[in-house]
Structure 1
């Protein structure tokens, strides 16, 4: 213990250099843990996005593209699905439930999704968690009702009964708005940590109502325009949708139904397994994820090398100190242990400060990251893997401390008392 106190006193005597070394290690530790935390939470967010859906069906394109626009609301569909094709899928004896999805509009940068009430009943996320309302109710007979995701309501400060105007297209700023057909908020969903939070949900009838008077991709003008009151009395049957989520009566039928859909003669369709597509998507991102982790690991190594350099540089200045310690009875292994304790103390202080910086940083950016990237970073205690990383850093610091310790061990008493300049 006295060697540890002596090491702290020695570092205190060189406090400026020691603080710089600790800060460098802390920044590298913070970066490493932040990358690991983001990587872990991103993977969990991916895995928790959709659960209980056996097949996703869309126009024939690519499996990742279909997954992105149907689940993550990223990108656009190459084509739509005819309504009669959806009805045939829903009536298939192997299908337990079918959720239609219609995309294409937005509101202040957030996607609008048209669907039916089966969505609230059958959609699952995480481990079979159902969607729940924090306020209000689901949309009903009125086509101009909207149910907001938690993030939309929080970010845009909407509450029940508020009116909002949807925009055509998915751009953040749209020049074409459906301002003659405003929607009013009837429900707000509980937070799920998935793209559901960033989605405005309307009925399929509501999606049709928005475009009932559109011709050739443009809204009607003047007398041809149909008011919201007139729309309410119309039969708003969709002619096409964007995608379909299917739940099957038996998991055994998944592959056979997938094959039948992919060979469907009515129109070119693609059926994918969400879990397989998620793994493909994560595989594409895995290289960048590993590269970022390796870079952060090298930053930690650089910080430890900086610590080693600082200790080695101070050895020549401390040779008389070592010699005096030897002269009062310290053995060579005491001198070596002193330097190892110094290296360990610097690394331990850097790790603790790095943890503090990590949690302060998470607390500062948690809301922004969740609002803009849909990634929730919890203020949890370090996981077992993170503790292992920190243990490896401390172990590496001990090993690096052996280098100056060995050099000090080899210095003789006479060399220390009569330094040659």
Structure 2
């Protein structure tokens, strides 16, 4: 360690309280800057990884963001349903490799219920083309069997064999529950970090069965018993949306155009990637606002450090004069003060990084549970290193201002400074 850094370190130790407060200010600003950046990038990644390997999402005629939100993220409701005959026609299309029907509209204690078939467990992909897997149990086979997401099982304490009651609509209230048709949990999916974790999965036939005797969300009073329903044969009449995988990507736009101009009923076919890009573009204003706020917090922290250094400089004029009298040149004094600012900023950055990881370790499970955003405690990215580099550079530049003032002072201050 050079003599200048030793002097800077000793000087900071002599002013512990001021130095610690300055470091704390810089650390808090770095925590906010890095935390916002980490959550922003991880949120974007989580949104992008929610669905993978799906070429088209088809639903009733609506905007592509709305269709994406209710079919993939389970947010909101469909404007119209799709006739089952339309699903059969397009699922058997020569260019379609597989098709997954989705039926939404019911819920269980705040979690969405989704009707589907075995194609969902076979073909649905998320992340880097990862398939769904069961942590426990098996796929549903009986009419009143269900496979639940990991968050549903964890939040409600469910396990294999638990019986649950599904409610009509999003609001799970007494008069809307299908009390006479309890479902048995036969499978629990492994965590995915997507809305799948917050979904209760049942068969399409089960969705039809529990609504026998119901009309427009009301129980008409002639609801059959569970035993009677088990004797019936159910065929879906309508679904909410469908996910399509094609044999060749080249056929994507041709099939999309054919679906969008389908004469039997008004349908919309969207590309998930394009819709995700539009969705993120809508959120970019909030994203930019958060980044600007965090930058201003960093600036405020550095301004606090500048204020502290300038204030302490007035109290250290005698110290500077003694250093000059002992042979220190003006450039030595200049370097000393810049070194102090550099050390304070560096320690503040290190503390800020540690604080960020500590806070993310605590907040990550909460964010994942409540918002479905998976925050990975990964290493610092090149972009984050660049941001930290800018903070360090700004701290060094801040040190130039008190250093220049001290540089201009001379031995004329003498050993008898008037205060």
Fold match (TM-score > 0.5): yes
SS at match of 1:105: strand
Separation in 2, partners of 1:410, 1:117: 79
Cα deviation for residue 170 of structure 1 reads: 1.3
Q: Which residue of 2 aligns with 1:10?
A: 11
Q: Which residue of 2 aligns with 1:244?
A: 242
In the TM superposition, what are the counterparts of 1:24-103 in structure 2 within 5 Å? 24-103=25-104
| Residue number among 350, 360, 368 corresponding to 1:352 in the alignment | 350
SS at match of 1:147: strand
Q: Which residue of 1 aligns with 2:362?
A: 364
Cα deviation for residue 368 of structure 1 reads: 1.2
2:169, 2:217 within 8 Å by CA — same for their partners in 1?
A: no
Pair 174,58 (structure 1): closer, same or farther in 2 beyond 3 Å: farther
Separation in 2, partners of 1:253, 1:234: 40
Task: Pick which of 253-262 and 4-13 moved more.
Answer: 4-13
1:347, 1:394 within 8 Å by CA — same for their partners in 2?
A: yes
Cα deviation for residue 133 of structure 1 reads: 0.9
Deviation string for 1:305-361 (max 9, x for gaps)? 110111011111110000001111211111111111110111112111111211121
Q: Which residue of 2 aligns with 1:309?
A: 307
User: Does residue 196 of structure 2 align to residue 199 of structure 1?
Assistant: no
Q: Which residue of 1 aligns with 2:148?
A: 148
Deviation string for 1:361-407 (max 9, x for gaps)? 11222211111011121222212211221121111111111111111
2:176, 2:217 within 8 Å by CA — same for their partners in 1?
A: no
Q: Which residue of 2 aligns with 1:320?
A: 318
Cα deviation for residue 416 of structure 1 reads: 4.1
- Corresponding residue pairs, total: 418
In the TM superposition, what are the counterparts of 1:201-350 in structure 2 within 5 Å? 201-221=201-221, 224-350=222-348
Deviation string for 1:196-239 (max 9, x for gaps)? 11111110011111111213431132xx2211111111111111
Separation in 1, partners of 2:76, 2:47: 17
Pair 359,401 (structure 1): closer, same or farther in 2 beyond 3 Å: same
Cα deviation for residue 418 of structure 1 reads: 3.3
Deviation string for 1:44-79 (max 9, x for gaps)? 111111111111110001100000000000000011
Deviation string for 1:141-180 (max 9, x for gaps)? x111111111111121111111111111113656511121
Q: Which residue of 1 aligns with 2:110?
A: 109
SS at match of 2:212: coil
Pair 214,323 (structure 1): closer, same or farther in 2 beyond 3 Å: same
Q: Which residue of 2 aligns with 1:121?
A: 122
Cα deviation for residue 12 of structure 1 reads: 1.9
- TM-score, normalized by length of structure 1? 0.97
Please list every run of 5 or more consecutive structure 2 residues that lacks an aligned counterpart in the other structure.
Answer: none
Q: Which residue of 1 aligns with 2:400?
A: 402
Deviation string for 1:118-145 (max 9, x for gaps)? 01111111121111111111111x1111
Please list every run of 5 or more consecutive structure 1 residues that lacks an aligned counterpart in the other structure.
Answer: none
Q: Which residue of 1 aligns with 2:20?
A: 19
SS at match of 2:316: helix
- TM-score, normalized by length of structure 2? 0.97
1:150, 1:191 within 8 Å by CA — same for their partners in 2?
A: yes
The two structures, once aligned, show a CA RMSD in angstroms of: 1.3
Cα deviation for residue 5 of structure 1 reads: 2.0
User: Does residue 177 of structure 2 align to residue 177 of structure 1?
Assistant: yes
2:96, 2:244 within 8 Å by CA — same for their partners in 1?
A: yes
Separation in 2, partners of 1:174, 1:353: 52
Q: Which residue of 2 aligns with 1:163?
A: 163
Tell me which stretches of 4 or more aligned residues in structure 1 moved more than 4 Å. 172-175
